[in-house]
Amino acid sequence: MKAEVDETKCGTVGLCVKICPEVFRFHPGSKKAYAMLPEVPPHLQAKCIEAAEKCPNDAIIIRY
């Protein structure tokens, strides 16, 4: 599974970083988030899906 952040939709709320900091981080000097792992490990997939579901701007894209 892969997780991506659509930075044009990212509203800098930061829920993804709070829910799954192992995958999501803020760009240095910015509140725009990004996914730092090319592949989400199985033990973090549920947290990534939760982050995507709770993102108020639908900025997180999950690909299988």
Give the domains, in start order, of the chain with CATH numbers: 2-63 (3.30.70.20)
- The model carries a pTM of 0.92
Kindly report, residue by residue over 10-43, the tens digit of the pLDDT.
998 999 999 999 999 999 998 899 999 999 999 9
Q: Which of 10-14, 16-20, 44-48, 57-61 shows the lowest per-residue confidence on average (mean pLDDT)? A: 10-14
First to last CA, the chain: 5
Q: In this structure, how many other beta carbons lie within 10 angstroms of the beta carbon of residue 59? A: 22
CB atoms within 10 A of CB 51: 26
